[in-house]
Structure 1
Amino acid sequence: MQGLRTTRAVNALGRASHGRLHTASPSILSLSLRPQRSLSSQTGPSRPQNAVSLSRLGVSARSLQARRHASSSSSSSSESLSKTPLYDLHLAHGAKMVPFGGFHMPVQYSGLSVSQSHAFTREHASLFDVGHMVQRVFSGPGAAAFLQRVTPSNLEALQPHRSTLSCLLHSDGSGGIVDDTVITRLDETKFYVVTNAACRDKDNAYFDAEMTKWNSGHKDQEVTQEQLNGWGLVALQGPEAAAILASILDDPETVNLEKLYFGQSVYGKVKMRGMQISSPLLISRGGYTGEDGFEISIPEDETVHVTEALLSAGGPERVQFAGLGARDSLRLEAGMCLYGHDLDDSTSPVEAGLSWIIPKERRTPDAGFHGAEKIASQITPKSKGGAGVQRRRVGFVVEGAPAREGAKIQGDGNEIGVVTSGCPSPTLGKNIAMGYVKDGFHKAGTEVEVLVRGKPRKAVVTKMPFVQTKYWKGTAPA
């Protein structure tokens, strides 16, 4: 059955000389970066070996409640959790495992604290397991038009081997976001879509309903969907990522990393253990940390071998595993959203500061995607006759104690918003946060107060990303 599943998945992806993918922003636990002094392994009837208490890592009850609400597949029962292909390798490297998005996932490793792992990524390279994400392939003559119906993206104009950050929108016209995603055009009739693990059940129901409606009304433009269940997905992130990956490429001239820019992908083979050569792997330049890096989609039976090759190529002084804890603080420094916290069903792309994902030609009431009329009115500010928005997503630098999710924001003596993500920034040595404020308080430099444990703390609205991104765009990081 494994061989059959792999063959079907390979056919779905349409292996060719070129292609691309890019993972969507994965749902990551909102973790504390205070020193972890009691991370001893615990065992029990419902806890896997090397599991660690979420409360010890500073995961708030609000975070867990939001995550459980986002997906019924997220469960604390070890019997109901799935495992990525790298599960045993994580344990061998001293991973502390937690339930997340319906999977056993590593939150950190015994060799480094969360903040140390964060710094290691910025200085060298880290390898993240994102195999819990949902990898989908939509195929058929109507694939582009269908995806343009459920997202605000112009996918008919998207070139092969390119991707776009996007979001799934509710069909009720509210403009609310079902999930955030990245969509890659593989060829004229095939698109690769990665969605969040914690939204798996919700997204499955959404796509099933939308495809049923689409196919019933477009007999000559039918669309099919296949999930690449069991496939591995790893993210190699950091300034040494390119050199590490290049050292194991089977044909570095064919896969020229110098000319593989941010947002592009290519198929390439790598040298695995014993000098065996892998299948063609879809290698994407991008990531969720703000660093230069790559995300690699791998057949299930090769995931461990490819991952071990990457770890061996760099050595522990250049590349190490990193978990959900470091991934969360890295993405917050990069100003990236986390679904279920910074985005949800009631949030529109305009409120979330994501208007840039909507191309100009799609910013009209009759653009044809769900919620187009509402979103078009929000894009146009009140001063120009539009509806504008009542709230906006912004970043903050907070004095004193760090502001966590749920902290109230005050301005001019009134409550004006709420924090949706927050942590100490290991890179900046400051407390950073993200949240929504009333329109008018969103400009950089605006001084506000955040209630931390009932005590007002000074905060300043700050442009994001908090830390300069280092995406590879050819001549210099950008």
Structure 2
Amino acid sequence: MAETTAEDRRTETRRTGLYDLHLELGARMVPFAGWQMPVQYPMGVMAEHLHTREKAGLFDVSHMGQVLVWPEDGRLETAALALESLIPADVLGLPEGRQRYGLFTNDRGGVLDDLMFANRGDHYLLVVNAACAAQDIDLLHTLSGVRVEQVTDRGLLALQGPLAEAALAALVPGAAGMRFMDSLAHGWEGESLWISRSGYTGEDGFEISVPAARLEDFARALLDRPDVAPIGLGARDSLRLEAGMPLYGHDMDAEVTPVEAALGWSIPKVRRTGGARAGGFPGAERVLDELAAGASAIRRGLRPEGRAPIREGVALYAEAAGGEPVATVRSGGFGPSVGGPVAMALIPAEIPEGAVLHAELRGKRLPVRVTALPFVSPNFKR
């Protein structure tokens, strides 16, 4: 095993089961959400991004929290209704072997975290953000009638890109038959892999939960496939940004509602109006009001003119000179597939798509155009 460095001790970060493999592959490691994670490999961020769009990229996402929620009475409905008291999604209506996107909200209607939840027949599997995992698990422990179990003996990989299916099917043939948002267990060399057909890049792909003892073996087996390359956090961020996917703590947080974050689609009709299951989640009054009447601002895309990226924190103005900021960039960078800079911000609802705003960058105001999301068309397998 690699030695612990002074920097590791200073930042008190944890390591995934692939830490040594990352170093072997030449990764540049950085602290992220309490973990040492690879930000890039020798290929570089832009090449890693384009490789994922064209072939298949392998991401270590073992820092994410994996949580099991079991009904104490053995009835899955008990766990579903308990989760619906925290998450404004249709948990009860999710079929076995399927997965959905959801949100935890607070009493003000703000987003505490976003997550994936899957119906595994007699319990639910939740995957939550690393930085929010402790908070989310504490929240789940407030529920009655369920048993909450944090998964600590498995790692998590994401295999993304148009050739991901072929690469995974070479090791796990059954994966080829999975649909988008399927979540199923498949065998590999005597181990049970928990596989979902989903991801965070806008490409077809899979997230694969692997027993910790075989995590490196499975990662190496995927990397042995000729079209698979290791990809770091840098390209993961540019890929999700081009795909118009929000990042928790940036594009949404405890002060941003699902409607403002342009995630109202994750709240179905059964949780909005009429019936016993409408509302009933934290902040429901504000969220439901905004779903009906609209929010004062909503997350939208921005295309700056020129090649200079505008990044998080940059102020946006309605005019080329004077006036007060109307918004602030939440996420921004260069989009390698788009061939130019892209960004997202919470834009006042009265500003129409196509309008030109002005980003203040190094003392100058540069024009940026409000545009629809995503910046690249999704390539999911429907």
- Give the TM-score band, short-chain normalised: over 0.9
Given the superposition, is the C-alpha separation of residues 88 and 301 from structure 1 closer, same or farther in structure 2, using an over 3 Å criterion?
A: same
Match of 1:463 among 350, 359, 372: 372
Q: Which residue of 1 aligns with 2:124?
A: 191
Amino acid at match of 2:348: K
Asked whether the 8 Å contact 1:85–1:230 carries over to 2, the reply is no
Note if 1:287 corresponds to 2:223. no
Counterparts of 1:389-400 in structure 2, within 5 Å, are: 389-400=295-306
- Is residue 134–residue 200 contact of structure 1 (8 Å, CA) maintained in 2? yes
Match of 1:332 in 2: 241
Q: CA deviation at 1:380?
A: 1.4
Q: Which residue of 2 aligns with 1:375?
A: 287
Q: Aligned equivalents of 1:107 and 1:352: distance in 2?
A: 26
* Paired residues of 2:160 and 2:204 also in contact (CA < 8 A): yes
User: Residue deviations 1:442-469, cap 9 Å, x none?
Assistant: x321211111223111111111110111
Q: Secondary structure at the match of 1:77?
A: helix
Is the 1:269–1:279 contact (alpha carbons within 8 Å) kept by the matching residues of 2? yes
Q: Tell me the TM-score normalized by structure 1.
A: 0.74
TM-score between the two structures when normalised by the length of structure 2: 0.92
Tell me the residue number matched to 1:223. Answer: 146
Q: Report what 1:77 is aligned to.
A: 10
Aligned counterpart, 1:52: none
Secondary structure of the residue aligned to 1:280 is: strand
The CA distance in 1 between the partners of 2:179 and 2:29, in whole Å, is: 34
Contact 2:118 2:183 in 1 (8 A): no
Contact 2:99 2:196 in 1 (8 A): no
Q: Is contact 2:168–2:175 with CA below 8 Å preserved after alignment?
A: no
Contact 2:56–2:164 (CA under 8 A) maintained in structure 1: yes
In the TM superposition, what is the alpha-carbon distance from 1:291 to its structure 2 partner?
Answer: 0.8
**Unaligned residue ranges in structure 2 (runs of 5+):** none
Distance (Å, rounded) in 1 between the aligned partners of 2:4 and 2:222: 33
2:182 equivalent in structure 1: 264
Amino acid at match of 1:206: L
1:88 corresponds to which of 10, 20, 36: 20
Q: Supply the AA of the counterpart residue of 2:231.
A: A
Q: Deviations over 1:59-97 (max 9, x none)?
A: xxxxxxxxxxxxxxxxx825x221111111111111111
Mapped to 1, the partners of 2:183 and 2:137 lie a distance apart of: 26
Q: Secondary structure at the match of 1:416?
A: strand
Aligned residues: 368
Measured in 2, the distance between the counterparts of 1:359 and 1:146 equals 17
| Corresponding residue of 2:339 | 429
Contact 2:28 2:38 in 1 (8 A): yes
Q: Alpha-carbon deviations, 1:377-412, whole Å to 9, x = none? A: 11112xxxxxx3221111110123211101111115
* Structure-2 residue corresponding to 1:242: 165
Contact 1:288-1:336 at 8 Å conserved across structures: yes
Q: Is the 8 A contact 2:86 2:104 kept in 1?
A: yes
Residues 127 and 234 in structure 1, CA contact (< 8 A), matched pair in contact too:
yes
Gaps of 5+ in 1: 1-42, 49-75, 216-221, 271-276, 382-387, 474-478
Q: Percent identity?
A: 41
1:232 paired to 2:155 = yes
Distance in 1 between residues matched to 2:5 and 2:20, nearest whole Å? 19
Residue number among 127, 135, 146 corresponding to 2:58 in the alignment:
127
Any conservation in 2 of the 1:84–1:230 contact (CA below 8 Å)? no
What code does the residue aligned with 1:182 have? M
Report the Cα offset of residue 248 of structure 1. Answer: 1.5
Amino acid corresponding to residue 130 of structure 2 in structure 1: A
84, 93, 96: which is aligned to 1:157?
A: 93
